Amino acid sequence: MIIGTPADAEAVLQLPRRRRGGAVRKERWKEYGLGYLFILPAFLIFGVFTFYPFVKNFWLAAHETPLYPGNPAPYVGIHQFTTTVTSSMFLQSLESTAIFTVIAVPIGVFLGLALAVIANQRLKGIAFFRLVFSATAVTGVAVAAVIFGTLLSPTNGLLQSWGIDTAPGIAQSPGWALYAVSGIQAWQFMGLSFIIMLAGLQSLPEEVLEAARTDGASTWTVFWRVTVPLMSPTIFFAGVIGTIIALQSYGVVDILIASSGQGSQAVYTHTNLLINYIYDEIYNRQFGVAACLAIALFLITLVVTAVQFRVLAKRVHYGN
């Protein structure tokens, strides 16, 4: 047994490495090189499709887009960004986006959880309902928009068939259109929310729920006092994901409102979500403005997610 200070031990241990230093270094580079080789494909794809556009976006935002392609793009610095984000059109779009998200996400989260609780029962044929409940996660946005467009139609829609007169149509009314698209977004997110919630429910510790039942708790109490707190990380996760998805949801408004050719200017203005606004500016060849809007949306997503983490994380219980 060798007795000495830790430094002695370190010296002893490092001796062989120092002697064989050259060989070791060569070995190490070989290993590193191989590692870099493996990440190269992913890195290339990330670089070309994510990193380069991200940087280019900032360049576009700082330059005025020329009217005709090929002409010089004058540098305007932050000016274009400040003009864009203070415009009334942007503020209107921001308000619509906020309403859209605040309606769609909580409803989608709640419906997902409610359906997951139902589908988590051990009943015969429940697998069929799990399939049905999760279906909206894989329903194309175009399909969803067309289905709802038909359901809400003032001439042959569902409400109309119930004798409720909705003329000029919910999706065509400036007061209602935004709520309609918010509802559709909630419905679309419900499927993914359901899948997340069901996975969460199935990983809950069974014995803890059983303990609550033997401790005399009613089904209702077990749900609110035990299931929901234990599910809080999952609910929180679904909320964050739902928010990010809602902020990037383009298709519903585009198909139901913008491309339908039925909307008035007022409807169009009230449902002009930030992401749709960005696409419009791109089609108008206003790349600089679109880039500024994209930066704004990026910052909003960042801030909202950060706030969610800070505020909600305190109320979320993570297991041991």
Which residues would be at the binding site for other proteins (CB under 8 A)? 205, 207-208, 210-218, 221, 226, 229-230, 232, 317, 319-320
The CA-based angle 218-222-223, given to 5 degrees, is 120
Nearest approach, Cβ of residue 246 and other proteins (Å) = 28
Cα 283 to chain center, whole Å?
A: 24
Angle at the Cα of 146 from the Cα atoms of 141 and 150, rounded to 5 degrees:
145
Strand partners, 63: 75
In the bound complex, what is the minimum distance in angstroms from residue 219's beta carbon to other proteins?
Answer: 9
**Closest CB to other proteins among residues 21, 229:** 229
- Nearer Cβ to other proteins, position 156 or 320? 320
Q: Which residue type does 308 have? A: Q
Which C-beta is closer to other proteins: that of 75 or that of 224? 224
**Rounded to an integer, what distance in angstroms lies between the CA atom of residue 156 and that of residue 161?**
7
In whole angstroms, the minimum distance from the beta carbon of 232 to other proteins comes to 8
Kindly tell me the sign of the dihedral angle through the C-alpha atoms of 243, 245, 251, 254.
positive
Smaller CB separation from other proteins, 117 or 258: 117
Q: How far is the CB of 220 from other proteins (least distance, A)?
A: 11
Cα-to-chain-centroid distance, residue 253? 17
Least spacing, CB of residue 235 vs other proteins, in Å: 13
Provide, rounded to whole angstroms, the least separation between the CB of residue 224 and other proteins.
Answer: 12
Of 36 and 318, which CB lies nearer to other proteins in the complex structure?
A: 318
- Name which of 27 and 210 has its Cβ closer to other proteins: 210
Task: List all residues 6 or more positions away from 146 whose beta carbon is below 8 Å from its beta carbon.
Answer: 255
Q: What is the CA 162 to chain-centroid distance, rounded?
A: 35
Render the burial of 36-69: b for 16+ CB within 10 Å, e for the rest.
eeeeeeeeeeeeeeeeeeeeebeebbbbbbeeee
